Amino acid sequence: MELPVIWFIAISVLWIGYFVLEGFDFGVGTLLPFMGKRNSVDRRVAINSIGPVWDANEVWLLTAGGAMFAAFPAWYASLFSGFYVPLFAILIALILRGVAFEYRGKRDSDTWRTWWDRAIFFGSAAPALLWGVAFANIVQGVAMDSDHIVTASTLDLLNPYALLGGLTTLSLFTLHGAIFLTLKTDGPVRVRARRAALVTACAAVPSGAGFLLWTQAAHGHPWTLPLVVIAAAALVGGVVAAWRGREGWSFAFTALTILTAVAALFGALFPNVLPSTTDPAFSLTVENASSADYTLTVMTWVAVVFLPLVLLYQGWSYWVFRRRVTGASVTGESVTATDGGPGDGTGDRSTPVA
């Protein structure tokens, strides 16, 4: 196989990793307002379930972006400048969300936490929606001239297919997050998350199925059909498993849904990387957008050596935090039993137990 094709696959793997992992923490953030009353320990349980891992999940995005820059500079250049406004909105959302996680518990004030909760909600829901819009547009193609400069306006990006894509990622990530919460928490949050999963499924299943079928019909290849079928089946399987309380299975199924759905999108895109709707001849392809073989060879070696290492220690961090998060575990009660003790009144242990 040729190096540019290998790197096209590698980049799709990085995006898959990003969406499978950050997908659930976007979902948890989107569901935060529904997981407990304001300032309740329940909300803290939800946040702490992703606390140790969200940052490393986000690095998949940075790696995917860096890999696109290195392996397909023309793709990176046209895409990022052409999708300026949605990417800018995603950046602002990720900034506010990241700071919110870290700062939310650092002042004992209702107003303070309320504002950071809003930042977590919008900072999670907006990218979950916008990534779907962006990827649908990538698959569908945008107006682009012979110099590979995108001429489509921001409003052009908000077409029906892209909006359905956005709805799909938003609902799918929310479902994925809800199921993650059922798997990783205990107590009231777990109960609410299960209900949220079933409600979200009512949006995720139809929009996901519709979007995948549309993708397959309009842009697919014969060999992307199995991916679409598996994605749809896994989505239904995930919902059924959630309904029956099989939390581990349902999480595995929604992860598989995201994996195969993103793979199907990249499959549908191939061999283009950014099709031009102005003239197919202006499209960026795996061939004309890629770096020279030397760079790709170097990058291949780096990836072969270090990606398994990353998977190993990132997997280990998930193993360390495998236990369910509960009200007692976030307030530290079971550990220090100092309700009202000297450690209270400041810092992140101080949220009053509702």
Partner 1 sequence: MEALELARWQFGVTTIYHFLFVPLTIGLSFIVAVLQTLWYRTGRHEYLQATQFFGKLFLINFAMGVVTGIVQEFQFGMNWSEYSRFVGDVFGAPLAMEALLAFFLESTFIGLWIFGWHRLPRGVHLACIWMVAIGTNLSAYFILAANAWMRHPVGFSVNEENGRAELNDIWAVLSNDQAWSTYLHTVSAAFITAGLFVVCVSAYKLWRNQRHGDTGIAGVAPPKNDFALFRGTLKVGLVFTLIAGAIVVFSGDHQAKLAAEYEPMKLAAAEALWETEEGAAFSALAVGDTEARYNPIDVTVPNVLSFLATGTFDGEVHGMNNLQEAYEEYYGPGDYTPNVFVVYWSFRLMMGFGLFGVAVAALGLWLTRGKRRTPTSRWFYLAAMLALPAALAANIFGWVLTEMGRQPWTVHGYLLTANSVSPGVSLATVAMSLTVFTAVYGLLAVVEVGLLVKYIKAGPSHLVPDLENDEDESQIPHFSY
Does 189 help bind partner 1 (rule: CB under 8 A)?
A: no
Give residues 63-102 in contact with partner 1 (rule: CB under 8 A): 63, 65-74, 76-82, 84-85, 87-88, 91-92, 94-96, 98-99, 101-102
Contact residues for 209 (Cβ-Cβ < 8 A; gap 6+) = 232, 235
Does 330 help bind partner 1 (rule: CB under 8 A)?
A: yes
| Start-end of H helices in the chain | 3-31, 41-50, 54-71, 73-82, 84-103, 110-140, 160-184, 188-219, 225-243, 247-269, 286-289, 293-320, 327-331, 333-336
Does 346 help bind partner 1 (rule: CB under 8 A)?
A: yes
Give residues 1-30 in contact with partner 1 (rule: CB under 8 A): none
Q: What distance, in Å, lies between the first and last C-alpha atoms of the chain?
A: 59
Q: And the tokens for 61?
A: 């995005």
Give residues 124-183 in contact with partner 1 (rule: CB under 8 A): 147-151
Residue 33 or 73 with smaller CB distance to partner 1: 73
Residue 125 or 330 with smaller CB distance to partner 1: 330
Task: Specify the DSSP element, H or E, that contains 274.
Answer: strand 272-274
Residue 1 or 294 with smaller CB distance to partner 1: 294
Give residues 288-307 in contact with partner 1 (rule: CB under 8 A): 291-292, 294-295, 298-299, 302-303, 306-307
Least distance in angstroms from the C-beta of 164 to partner 1: 25
Residue 243 or 297 with smaller CB distance to partner 1: 297
Q: And the tokens for 40?
A: 């309740």
Place of tokens 């929310």: 174
Cβ atoms < 10 Å from Cβ of 209: 16
The residue within the footprint of partner 1, chosen from 335, 339, 352, 354 (CB under 8 A), is 335
Does 109 help bind partner 1 (rule: CB under 8 A)?
A: no
Each residue 38-67 as x (binds partner 1 by CB under 8 A) or -, in order, gives ------x--xx--xxxxxx-xx-xxx-xxx
- Torsions phi, psi for 147 (to 5 deg): -90, 10
Residue 81 or 114 with smaller CB distance to partner 1: 81
Least distance in angstroms from the C-beta of 169 to partner 1: 19
37 alpha carbon, distance to own chain's centre: 25
Contact residues for 114 (Cβ-Cβ < 8 A; gap 6+) = 38, 39
Does 106 help bind partner 1 (rule: CB under 8 A)?
A: yes
Least distance in angstroms from the C-beta of 23 to partner 1: 17
